[in-house]
Amino acid sequence: MTLCKLAHVEELGTASTTVCDNEPKSESLMLLCYTSGTTGDAKGVRLTHRNLIHDVESFREMITTDPSSVIISYLPYPHVFEQALMGSIMAGGGKIGYFSGNPANLLADMAVL
């Protein structure tokens, strides 16, 4: 695996002449959120860009995020709460730390973060 520095990625983007003509619509599929199955069989729920943007904006009305904001991500990535919270933090320019994967170490992970 080759690691790429951000400056190199930025140079590639600047040099690109490709124009994105297939921007997502509000009803375009953004992600599949898998339910836990607490009310029946687990299933994949289709979430659109509109769904997630609404969730993020709703969060931003309840919590203030700015570049000094920091959260620790410990829910599964496809969890809608996790998606909305991470989107809210990123919209405010905040930072996201990821836990080690072991719930028993969550407090230690937060101390490192």
Contact assessment for residue 95 and residue 113, using Cβ atoms and an 8 Å cutoff: no
Q: What is the pLDDT of residue 110?
A: 92
Calculate the alpha carbon distances from 57 to 8, 54, 68, 92, 99 in Å. 33, 5, 19, 11, 25
Q: What is the pLDDT of residue 23?
A: 81
Length of the chain as a residue count: 113
Contact assessment for residue 71 and residue 94, using Cβ atoms and an 8 Å cutoff: yes
Least confident of 1-5, 23-27, 72-76, 108-112: 1-5
pLDDT per position as a tens digit, 8-62: 888 888 888 777 777 889 999 988 887 777 788 878 888 899 998 898 898 888 8
Q: Which CATH number fits domain 24-112: 3.40.30.10, 3.40.50.980, 3.90.600.10, 3.30.930.10?
A: 3.40.50.980
Nearest Cα residue to 107 out of 49, 59, 99, 76? 99
Q: Is 70 exceeded by the pLDDT of residue 3?
A: no
